[in-house]
Amino acid sequence: MKKILTLMTSASLALGALAQQAIWGVPQLISPEVNADNTVTFRFAAPNAQEVKVTGDFLPTEKIQTPFGEFDGPGSAALTKNDQGVWEYTSPVLAPELYSYSILVDGLKVNDPSNVYQIRDTGTVTNIFIVKGGGGDTYSVNDVPHGTVSKMWYHSPTLGMDRRLTVYTPAGYESSDQSYPVLYLLHGMGGDENAWTELGRAAQILDNLIAQGKAEPMIVVMPNGNAAMQAAPGETSQGLVPPTTALPKTMDGSFETHFPEVVSFIDTNFRTKPDKAHRAIAGLSMGGFHSLHISKQYPDMYDYVGLFSAAILPQQQGEPSPIYENFDEKLAAQFAQAPKLYWIAIGEKDFLYQANADYRKLLDSKGYPYIYRESPDGHIWKNWRIYLTEFTPMLFK
Amino acid sequence: MKKILTLMTSASLALGALAQQAIWGVPQLISPEVNADNTVTFRFAAPNAQEVKVTGDFLPTEKIQTPFGEFDGPGSAALTKNDQGVWEYTSPVLAPELYSYSILVDGLKVNDPSNVYQIRDTGTVTNIFIVKGGGGDTYSVNDVPHGTVSKMWYHSPTLGMDRRLTVYTPAGYESSDQSYPVLYLLHGMGGDENAWTELGRAAQILDNLIAQGKAEPMIVVMPNGNAAMQAAPGETSQGLVPPTTALPKTMDGSFETHFPEVVSFIDTNFRTKPDKAHRAIAGLSMGGFHSLHISKQYPDMYDYVGLFSAAILPQQQGEPSPIYENFDEKLAAQFAQAPKLYWIAIGEKDFLYQANADYRKLLDSKGYPYIYRESPDGHIWKNWRIYLTEFTPMLFK
């Protein structure tokens, strides 16, 4: 009997691995390597290439030309071939942060095959790495109690479909009978119900801030803000089709109109504190636009409002929607019982900077209270992770 | 007021998108394109390349040489440059299936930048596509009610750590007060708690089979079978380190010994039917080894056992463990109240074929009942998706 009762030898282990599809090519290089001094070394095996570069948001920006004008794009740096035929580059010392990058091989943009950690942003997949310390620690998985992240579906009678959402419940939710406050956290144009947990590191941020006692334990609900879509690309019966930003029904009032169905689903299926004092809504870009309109449309619902680089644009366009009508009156109603926190944050280089400045002027002219936070940089995930890290500790206190 | 209440124009939409990190490079090509006749066209822009190939499991295998001998590896096919300077290749008609592939550019293996759909298998990330029909339909998201997929953490006193697992609850779980049977579904060497939902399409398979009335609504629990690990690569405080198959405590009895803690966590936190008649355990490769030993170690616990390409190896090696002792006696005890289903499946080209044949001989010699299923191909995910599709309809009936 002994002969069939076994542990694998290391040879058979490798054999087993080889026989699996996994081992079409196992990374042989360490790349990227975050060094002790917070420089980062990139390595790439391309013996026949003439030129290998790395491009990413850890490098100084470069001007890029587009049909819409000149913009800051991610910079690049050249790798050099070492004596083993491997291309290498070591960055300057980097500030703690989560960074994205790609490799350019003779002008062709590819992912780093030594790094399995990648995130999708709309139609682009890039590699990521984290430099620890500060925000880098907040975005990392640490030895703290972890919440649960669920992908679930609710039915929307208004939109006539089942829709997918992401729910974070804090550590201890399962083992207690406590009720929790809820933050509704909305994504931007081109995003979906996966964006805040993947690009935004929302679960890590919440786990860490709650463990440090900086944020109250809370449920975070991340729905899909594209009212024409059931779910993220690849998660619907449309199949594995290319993602797009050219979706209908993103900022036409449909999402805002149906939003009470999301709240009702959450209050029915989770142990929430279902009142204004224990409900927050925040979003980035289009999600900031949604948060602005939802919080004003339902003035008794949200005591905490966060507009992160909100898409408040200077000109009325597109289909009219009852949601956007009587703006002044609705805003007056909202601020008649002002939210405990109305938080506006934007980067100084954001293309929505002026629109947000105009909106603040309006609030100022009416004497409506809000807190304003300006950060460096533009319309990028780095800012939205920072805003989430700063916003959540102010909630439900 | 009107001027700040707005919908985006299509120009500002594009502008907003451009200003985001996402638009480092938007895919301009459709690749892969699954054509109406189930041929598939691959397109790749590499104007300066000398040779572009596609390699994947949809092509006839080729012999590859390794330190452990000659094996079947995925084949490759050459793309040709078309008159727009884009490389193209159209496959023969493909059978319905989920396929993986990569692009080889002058010998360099890269992912297809036009296809955001990728899955990680241990240390390798490859693109995927689905040819519909048959298994291709079963692995697709269809217009059926969808279950919930949760990533959660349980505490293991035995292993001295919090550990991550994936739980699928069937559509309707939230809206009912019904109790459900549970399938424990285990991954192989190099896998983790993400493997069955990502590579194995377990949520899609269950959603579709349940909607068709072929499988009973059930909870599926997918723990991490590497007892030295808390969670999948990137999900622990070790950070974004390269995945490895060289882990300790995978097949030394630790996982099996701690396994009742998983069952207890599930029975405590979910509405289960907590008895042998409503509990199944199955796994692939190392997970088949775990399923064999757990089901025999706890003979009153599992009425359904599935060994998918199980790692039953012909020679005792490594550390002894009480779990593996007294094998004959424990197996006799298990089959004294034989499971309702003991299902053994393997591919005819699997490197574990002979070991499974030997094990079946043992069962035959004792008269222990089991069902045997042999499929083409080897130790690959295609087989494990097929086995899950065949196994789950036999459960809890």
Q: What does the pLDDT average to over B190-217?
A: 98
CA-based torsion, B178, B219, B163, A195: positive or negative: negative
- Position A27 confidence tier, pLDDT thresholds 50, 70, 90: low
Quick: pLDDT tens for A317-345. Answer: 556 789 999 999 999 999 999 999 999 99
Q: Do A4 and B312 touch (CB under 8 A)?
A: yes
- Position B27 confidence tier, pLDDT thresholds 50, 70, 90: low
Task: State what percent of residues in chain B have pLDDT above 90.
Answer: 83
Q: Do A314 and B4 touch (CB under 8 A)?
A: yes
Per-residue CA distances from B372 to B5, B333, B346, B382 (Å): 66, 21, 8, 18
The SS3 call for residue A124 is strand
- Report how many helices (DSSP H) and strands (DSSP E) chain B contains, helices first: 9, 20
Check if the beta carbon of residue B392 is closer than 8 Å to that of residue B209: yes
Shortest CB distance from A324 goes to which of B5, B237, B351? B5
Provide the residue type at A174 as one letter. Answer: E
The SS3 call for residue A290 is helix
Question: What pLDDT score was predicted for residue A82?
Answer: 87
Max alpha carbon distance in chain A (Å)?
85
The CA radius of gyration of chain B, in Å to the nearest whole number, is: 23
Q: Nearest-CA distance from B384 to chain A in Å?
A: 12
Shortest CB distance from A355 goes to which of B4, B162, B351? B4
Check if the beta carbon of residue B251 is closer than 8 Å to that of residue B311: yes
- Position A48 confidence tier, pLDDT thresholds 50, 70, 90: confident
Question: What pLDDT score was predicted for residue A5?
Answer: 34
Quick: pLDDT tens for B82-110. Answer: 888 899 999 999 999 999 999 999 989 99
Which range among A121-125, A192-196, B27-31 has the greatest average pLDDT? A192-196
- Position A60 confidence tier, pLDDT thresholds 50, 70, 90: very high
ipTM field? 0.93
Q: What share of chain B is helix, strand, coil (3-state, %, to 5)?
A: 25, 30, 45
DSSP letters, B99-162, are EEEEEEETTEEE--TT---EEEETTEEEEEEEE-SHHHHHTS--SS---EEEEEEEEETTTTEE
The CA radius of gyration of chain A, in Å to the nearest whole number, is: 23
| H-helix or E-strand spanning residue A306 | strand A304-308
| H-helix or E-strand spanning residue A203 | helix A202-211
Q: Nearest-CA distance from A22 to chain B in Å?
A: 5
Question: What pLDDT score was predicted for residue B18?
Answer: 39
Q: What does the pLDDT average to over A247-270?
A: 96
Question: What pLDDT score was predicted for residue B52?
Answer: 97
Q: What does the pLDDT average to over A85-90?
A: 94
Strand partners, A21: none
- Does residue B331 surpass a pLDDT of 60? yes
Question: What pLDDT score was predicted for residue A2?
Answer: 39
**Least confident stretch, A74-78, A83-87, A215-219, A313-317:** A313-317
Q: Nearest-CA distance from A162 to chain B in Å?
A: 8
- Position A191 confidence tier, pLDDT thresholds 50, 70, 90: very high
- Position A244 confidence tier, pLDDT thresholds 50, 70, 90: confident
Strand partners, B70: B65
**Least confident stretch, A68-82, A271-285, A361-375, B73-87:** A68-82
Task: Supply the DSSP symbol for B336.
Answer: H
Separation of first and last alpha carbons in chain B: 64
Cβ-based contacts of A313 with chain B (< 8 Å): 4, 6-8, 12
* The residue count for chain B: 397
CA dist., res. B120 & res. B181, Å (int)? 30
Q: What does the pLDDT average to over B301-319?
A: 82
- Does residue B314 surpass a pLDDT of 90? no
- The residue with tokens 């001989």 is B361
Q: What is the pTM of this model?
A: 0.94
- State yes or no: cis peptide before B243, omega within 30 of 0: no
Averaged confidence pLDDT in chain B = 91
- Position A59 confidence tier, pLDDT thresholds 50, 70, 90: very high
